[in-house]
Chain A
Amino acid sequence: MTKSYLSLELIDKTFERGGTRTEVLKQVSLAVEKGEFISIIGHSGCGKSTLLNIVGGLTQATSGVVLLDGKVVDEPGPDRAVVFQNHSLLPWLTVYENVRLAVDKVFSATRNKRERHDWTMRNLELVQMAHAADRRPSEVSGGMKQRVGIARALAMEPKVLLLDEPFGALDALTRAHLQDQVMQIHATLGNTVLMITHDVDEAVLLSDRIVMMTNGPSARIGEILDVPLPRPRRRIELASDRTYLKCREAVLKFLYERHRFVEAAE
């Protein structure tokens, strides 16, 4: 039916625990074009992480399908690389080895050792982490770990890059720096990106479209906002840009007026 690059069609997700059924997602449909940068925003507990995990294949939808490039997604795979919120680097491997593990696994048949080494280094350079290649994750800062996580995901040459609140655990300055880097990488490589966030500015700054989720249980897509800002975007110029402020206001209104987070709903 749809010819989109990535399409989610009528996704339902119900968790069952001890006889009680909780409906987390209801009838979620979304079409993403190739090269698009999509943010999913919503209050905590609205099931946005569940949605990302379904696209990643880490969680199975109760009903509905995810189609990527014409194929049904039902298990995890390197074509949908995930950057996890807490970086998830393997602490016993160096920065280089963490990325290399992914490269070796994905390109074991198609590239020789030399090429795989070069590709690993290329991706570390892309996130400016080549200088720390031989350090262990415990020896680098939180922002650096997340950059390595991004390098590992990029190195898989995924069809879709899934970012699960990638900057959530970072301080504001590091976060801004990483956002700029992600924008630059997106501009260079033209990846299709699906990012979960609860930071309104981050969503407006990075995305082509912002998917706003209603509160759970039974969360659905409440509204999809186009962000018609030209790229490259610069955060300082945008700070006073009309369109930027309007988009920001629209998201804020959605989140805090129409779908206020009710603690009791938890």
Chain B
Amino acid sequence: MPVTNLKLEPQAPPQPSAQVIALGYTARPGIDRRLSRFVAQAATNLLPLIVTLSFFTLAWQVICSSPESSLPAPSRVLEESWELIAHPFYTGQGVDQGLFWHVFASLQRVALGYVMAAAVGIALGVLVGQSALAMRGLDPIFQVLRTVPPLAWLPLSLAAFQDGTPSAIFVIFITAIWPIIINTAVGIRNIPQDYQNVARVLRLNGFEYFAKIMLPAAAPYIFTGLRIGIGLSWLAIVAAEMLIGGVGIGFFIWDAWNSSLISDIIVALIYVGIVGFLLDRLIALIGRAVTRGTANA
């Protein structure tokens, strides 16, 4: 049987030789093909999204287009808030700023509160994960405190700080810290016995163990906590800013409501959503870069 196969093969070339010409012809389209493949891939990834977006926009348009509708249709949003959409970098007096500046102010507060939460949260998480005594002493407190809604902290922090901005930052801090603590602790507790044995055979000291084994081993868990934390921070800042006022996307929304500028609220919500999404992606990206290879061997 194989012999007949062998005999058949030499007979085959005449046919491919006809294709060689075609190949020579397609040598230039090679780039085109790569481009078209890219376009095709983009289309398969984006097309469903574009379809659903158009569908929702259309539905929204249809539902809200009647004159007595309480919410504006997309066309009316564009019309009424065009100033806002077209000039995100506009600077004016007081809270009369472009959307970019509102988002920027909010991001600054989130950054401050979040970075503090990350630092303190990881430290406490390591403590609770490492020491059974600290675990018994602190974990019940954490479990109770983490269920307190972010905004419930605001009056207390206003009383303590006597000022809006530090209060908002504190609310971010207290919101983001719990998932960071809890996930870090779980990560530390789940460090495989193997790695601990390696550390013991090598006689790594406390600091070496922390830097070379503990942090890298717990990194995937820590980043899970950080990612949940950033999401919660962004949720909390909008709510907190509504109450404290000043420049910031939260207060912008509240202000727009008080001025009955419903279209502005819709534009602001789109901003909030996209920024929240980008923040989440950012932390995920950093996490992937840092924990590269950590997952499993």
Which A residues fall within an 8 A CB radius of B?
56-58, 75-78, 80-82, 84, 86-92, 101-102, 105-106, 136-138, 145, 156
Contacts and interface: CB of A to CB of B under 8 A. Distances in A.
Interface in B183-212: 194-195, 197-198, 200-204, 208, 212
Given A88-B194, A92-B216, A82 B201 contact: yes
Given A84-B194, A86-B194, A101-B212, A92 B201 contact: no
Nearest to B216: A92
Contact of A90 (B195, B292, B295): B195
Q: Which of B212, B213, B219 has the most CB of A within 10 A?
A: B212
A81 B201 contact: yes
* Chain A contact surface mostly: loop
A136 B197 contact: no
B258 to A, nearest CB: 52
14 contacts: A58-B197, A58-B200, A76-B197, A77-B201, A82-B197, A82-B201, A84-B198, A88-B195, A90-B212, A91-B293, A92-B217, A92-B291, A101-B202, A105-B204
B296 interface: yes
A91 B295 contact: yes
Contacts of A137: 297
Nearest to B202: A105
B294 interface: yes
Contact of B202 (A57, A78, A89, A136): A78
A92 B219 CA distance: 10
Contact of B216 (A76, A86, A90): A90
Interface string B271-297: 000000000000000000001111111
A84 B216 CA distance: 20
B201 A76 contact: yes
Q: Which of B198, B204, B219, B291 has the most CB of A within 10 A?
A: B198
Contacts of B296: 91, 138
A77 B204 CA distance: 10
Contacts of B292: 92
A90 B213 contact: yes
A56 B297 contact: no
A78 B212 contact: no
Given A58-B201, A75-B200, A92-B293, 6 more contacts: A78-B203, A87-B297, A102-B202, A105-B202, A136-B293, A156-B202
Q: Which of A89, A102, A105 has the most CB of B within 10 A?
A: A105
Nearest to A98: B198
A137 B195 CA distance: 14
